[in-house]
Structure 1
Amino acid sequence: MSGRPAPCTPEEVGSLFLFEELSPEQLARLCGEGRMERFDPGPVYTEGEPATCLYVLVEGSVVLSRRVGGDDVEVSRTSQRGVYAGAMQAYLGDRVRQVYTNSLRVTEPARFFVLPADTFAGIMREWFPMAVHLLEGLFFGSKSTQAAVGQRERLLALGSLSAGLTHELNNPAAAAVRATATLRERVAKMRRKLAVIAEGPFSREALAQLIEIQERTAERVAKAPVLSPIESADREDALTDWLEDHGIEGAWRLAPTFVQAGLDVDWLEQVAATVGEDILPGAVGWLNYTVETELLMDEIADSTTRISHLVDAAKQYSQLDRAPHRIADVHELLDSTLLMLSAKIGPRIEVVKEYDRTLPLIPAYPAELNQVWTNLVDNAVAAIREGGEHGTLTVRTARHDDRVLVEFRDTGPGVPPEIRDRIFDPFFTTKPVGQGTGLGLDISWRIVVNKHHGALRVESVPGDTRFQVLLPLTAAPGDTPPTPEEPV
């Protein structure tokens, strides 16, 4: 938006604090190459447009705002004479994309001293060469430092996740190894038992019946019901009594295994009726090996399935073989992150999922969203432990107008009001020295707001802190077209 020309005098330009130390010749040049302009209430420039001018307020009132998602969020409102905005990084030239990083509007008739960006850059390099070098170093050094620390933050998170994943994988892997060793022992005993049965006084018909019972027993193991502790104890007592009444040795040892396999007294009565009393002890011993073998194979299957799920979760979390920008299911991303962080969360923190499964898939950068979830879950866990070992982390999804809401709620002590406006600032942290870089929430903000055109906000009272991520349902103009989900 262009304003109306107004008279420019070196004296008035020199009265602005930005230029008060300049010589009369320098002020004359500024007034000659710049201009005074009047603006009526309304926009002066809009965020994202090419940055062509530096604006210095002479009189009036202005509002600076930033675009967050689909909303313009007010950053500053002032009537202070001499404040400036616009092409403030013009001296960096083509090394930085020269666009307005905020929007400026006038709330009442105002007057600005307007300096073209090229003139501002030339004057800075000519009049203040050392200052320009210092500012360049500060700007790019800050960028490099932030990138390096951000990378460090990601590596720390990756190391923590790797440790947690190793712990989670170790448990089912160790269980599978133990079950395999026990299975080998049981199969060896079964072979010896089979040799004993083959040498015994069993008819072909009795052996056929025994094999049939073995098959039916294996089927029952696969369909074993889940019993309460009281039901298990009652059934175990009943089986022990039955086995002892029928002269079966080691009844106290056999009964728990049979109960775990879903067998009961009725089943034993069927076995006794089928094979007869004379071969019942041998038949029960043989079937006990069958039950133990089936249970051990179930344990191995469960363990290897758990390992497979963990590997899938790690693959989903890292998005190693996926397109960077694609259509994604936020619930899959959340579940993989929570599984990867389960060791860090620990058993004393209850995780509650309140998912709206009707939510559509959204265009996103999944690997980076997983980094956001990691940061927010990590902060929530730290907050809960600050207030005590026990607590609840609630992860909720819902539709919020034309956006998806992902909320992380913890029962920690809350974020004090005096620091609530600073928690998204780079390098700000409340964690002890060496335990936090202060970039977790800053990185999360950049990923959500800048990369996904969404919003990240916090609501907090003691015992109820909620970090809310709002993500658009559709891709913003100019985004890389997302690729559809592909099976892996």
Structure 2
Amino acid sequence: MTGGPVRCEEQELRSLFLFEKLDSDQLARLCRDGRVYRFDPGTVYREGDPAACLFVLLEGTVVLSRRVGGQEVDVNRTSARGVYAGAFQAYLGDQVPQVYNNSMRITEPSRFFVLPADTFAEIMREWFPMAVHLLEGLFFGTKNTQEAIGQRERLLALGSLTAGLTHELNNPAAAAARAASALRERVAGMHRGLGEIAADPHQRAGLEQLTDLRASAADSISQPPALTPLQAADHEDAVVDWLDEHDIDDGWQLAPAFVQAGLGTDWLDRIARALPADVLGPAVHWLNCTVETELLMNEIEDATGRVSALVNAAKQYAQLDRAPHRRADVHELLDSTLVMLAQKIGPRIRVVKDYDRTLPPIPCYPGELNQVWTNLIDNAVSALHGSDADGTLTVRTARDGDRVLVEIGDTGPGIPPEIRDRVFDPFFTTKPVGEGTGLGLDISWRIVVNRHGGDLRVESVPGDTRFQVRLPLTATNPDTPQEQQS
């Protein structure tokens, strides 16, 4: 600031668009309570400081900036007379925090009319009571609407994810239940068969060989071969023929389990060579029960493993028991989101992961980034489901200078050029009524740009739409509050 304040001239104020409709008494009060200040280049006030004054530019150049991810980002630069900044929300009083919601600096010697915030609030309520009521209604109505629809957006996403996760969990849980029920029957049959063999003195001598044969098959059962349906059918026919040749009943029932376990006629020949002919039939039936028991236990292990993997993915997605701001592997976040959205993606869509695994963990709010991935992937899936042909969803990561690039691409119809610039606007949506709120991309933009100091943009032509998120590799301040709504 250069020198002390000087009294303003009413005529100069009247020449400003902000005050041109005021009468002489009103202008006189402004000049009585306000003053004109001349400032040297530099910072006038900083974002977050108590909002003490309203500043109206008389001459000079002003730059407004906001804090994004610990960095100052210029949002407006102007030399237009009459532009104002500072405590312009003072008329709301203690209904909102009265702090500067941006920073202001000047780049050349400049003059301002400066009015105390209390005076501005007082004259607004006295001179424009109806306007103040309208502005209050507009301010809080818009704020409440955004909060309500934002909450609905999150609830819709949560409902969709919950439905998909429930379906994904139900499949392995049902498989495990079926396998456990069948396992009970097989164990009972195995005990009966073993009891029959042990009760016959002539067959009892083969128990040790049976135990050895069962143990020798364990490796094959734990790692069964991958057979095509045609190969499996051929192997089953060969096993059935072998069983028929050795007068063993129900060969068509026994063969599938042996083939599934990778046990063929060579293994059956070993059994025939090791056991007397009168023991062979009961022994093969008993061995079949033990093989089915192992296969069922493998199925239960696989099913419970899938349940565990889904639960871990859900925990990773929700970031339970994790610090809100930490270094995280972006690939883990993307994978957990894909698992959560697997049911919605469906079998028609081919998912391609093109990951740069050399990328280091990045400092971020993982739970909030998962919300971004959910919104972008959900939009891509909606675009693909809306087309007739099967499509491809591509999730790509790469290093882009000092930033990490995460790209969500789809082969859908694309975004028309005339609406491409509007996709990040609040409440703008191309989805049918009831399927979208128009806040998904707006929320994503705020999380990426305001919360992480990153960048979110879109490139689109028919058959190739890509939403690109760039996030800094260097640490940002985890305590930086989210940008206030103005």
Question: TM-score of the superposition, structure 2-length normalised?
Answer: 0.87
C-alpha distance in structure 1 between counterparts of 2:452 and 2:295, whole Å: 49
Contact 1:423/1:441, CA 8 A, preserved across alignment: yes
Give the structure 1 partner of residue 242 of structure 2. 242
Structure 2 residue matching 1:447: 3-state secondary structure: helix
Contact 2:198 2:204 in 1 (8 A): no
Q: Which moved more, 1:246-255 or 1:218-227?
A: 246-255
CA contact (8 A) 1:4 1:39 kept: no
Structure 1 residue identity aligned to 2:245? D
**1:292 Cα shift?**
0.9
In the alignment, the residues of structure 1 paired with residue 362 and residue 11 of structure 2 have an alpha-carbon distance, to the nearest angstrom, of: 57
Distance 1:164 1:480 in 2: 34
Identify if the C-alpha distance between structure 1 residues 474 and 76 changes in structure 2 by more than 3 Å, giving closer, same or farther: closer
TM-aligned CA deviation for residue 268 of structure 1: 1.8
Instruction: Note the alpha carbon deviations across 1:182-208, whole angstroms, 9 max, x for none.
Output: 112222222232233234463443221
Partner in structure 2 of residue 158 of structure 1: 158
Q: How does 1:107-186 map to 2 (within 5 A)?
A: 113-186=113-186
Counterpart in the other structure of 1:398: 398
Q: Which string of whole-angstrom CA distances, capped at 9 and with x for unpartnered residues, describes residues 16-70 of structure 1?
A: 2222211012123334444556778887666556545444455677665555447
- Residues 405-484 of structure 1 aligned to structure 2 (within 5 Å): 405-477=405-477, 479=479
Tell me the CA shift for residue 230 of structure 1.
5.1
Q: Which residue of 2 aligns with 1:341?
A: 341
Instruction: Give matches, 1:324-403, under 5 Å.
Output: 324-388=324-388, 390-403=390-403
Asked if 2 retains the 8 angstrom alpha-carbon contact of 1:349 and 1:389, the reply is: no
Deviation per CA, 1:139-169: give whole Å up to 9, x if none.
2232222222222221222122111111111
One-letter code aligned to 2:13: V
Residue 213 (structure 1) shift = 0.7
Give me the whole-angstrom Cα distance separating, in 2, the residues matched to 1:370 and 1:34: 49
Identity percentage over the alignment? 70
Aligned to 1:310: 310
Cα deviation per residue 1:210-249 (whole Å; 9 max; x = unaligned)? Answer: 1211222233201223234454344334333433333333
CA drift at 1:79 = 6.2
Instruction: Tell me whether 429-438 or 137-146 shows the greater mean CA deviation.
Output: 137-146
Q: Which moved more, 1:262-271 or 1:466-475?
A: 466-475
Match in the other structure for 2:290: 290
State the alpha-carbon separation in 2 of the partners of residues 344 and 318 from structure 1: 18
Contact 1:217 1:287 in 2 (8 A): no
Aligned to 2:137, the other structure's residue is in SS state helix
Q: 1: CA distance between counterparts of 2:302 and 2:114?
A: 71
**Structure 1 residue 176 displacement after superposition:** 1.1
Describe the shift of the 1:72–1:114 C-alpha distance in structure 2 as closer, same or farther (beyond 3 A): same
Separation in 2, partners of 1:240, 1:263: 12
* 1:342 to partner: Cα distance: 1.0
Residues 52-91 of structure 1: pairs in structure 2 closer than 5 A: 52-57=52-57, 66=66, 68-69=68-69, 75=75, 82-91=82-91
Q: Match of 1:10?
A: 10
The answer on whether the counterparts of 2:56 and 2:114 sit within 8 Å (CA) in structure 1 is yes
**CA distance, structure 2, for counterparts of residue 477 and residue 163 of structure 1:** 36
Task: Look up the SS of the partner of 1:25 in the other structure.
Answer: helix
CA contact (8 A) 1:64 1:105 kept: yes
Q: Distance in 1 between matches of 2:417 and 2:37?
A: 41
Decide whether aligned partners of structure 1 residues 19 and 150 sit closer, same or farther in structure 2, where only a CA change above 3 A counts.
Answer: same
Q: 1:170 to 1:2 in 2, by over 3 A?
A: farther
- Which residue does the alignment assign to 2:484? none
Is the CA contact (8 Å cut-off) linking 2:71 and 2:453 kept in structure 1? no
In 1, Cα distance between the equivalents of 2:467 and 2:297? 44
C-alpha distance in 1, partners of 2:52/2:301? 66
SS in 1 for 2:386: helix
| SS, match of residue 387 in structure 1 | coil
Question: Closer, same or farther in 2 for the Cα pair 1:202/1:340, shift >3 Å?
Answer: farther
Larger mean Cα displacement after TM superposition, 52-61 or 469-478: 52-61
Deviations 1:314-370 (A, max 9, x none): 222223333333333322222222211111111111222222333333333322222
Amino acid at match of 1:323: A
**Secondary structure, counterpart of 1:363 in structure 2:** strand
Is contact 1:242–1:265 with CA below 8 Å preserved after alignment?
A: yes
- CA shift in 2, pair 1:226/1:206, >3 Å: same
Alpha-carbon distance, 1:435 to partner = 1.3
Which residue of the partner structure matches residue 486 of structure 1?
none
* Alpha carbons of structure 1 residues 180 and 115: separation in structure 2 relative to 1, 3 Å: same
Aligned counterparts of 1:230 and 1:110: Cα–Cα separation in 2:
85
Contact 1:325 1:480 in 2 (8 A): no
- In structure 2, distance between residues paired with 1:231 and 1:445: 53
The residue matched to 2:202 in structure 1 has which SS? coil
Q: CA deviation at 1:448?
A: 2.5
CA RMSD of aligned residues (A): 3.2
1:266: which partner in 2?
266
* Distance in structure 2 (CA, Å) of the matches to 1:344 and 1:276: 58
Conservation of the 8 A alpha-carbon contact between 1:69 and 1:455: no
Amino acid aligned to 1:244:
D
Residue pair 2:363, 2:476 contacting (<8 A) in 1 also? no
1:446 counterpart letter in structure 2: R
Post-superposition offset of 1:6: 9.0
- 391-400 or 293-302: which moved more? 391-400
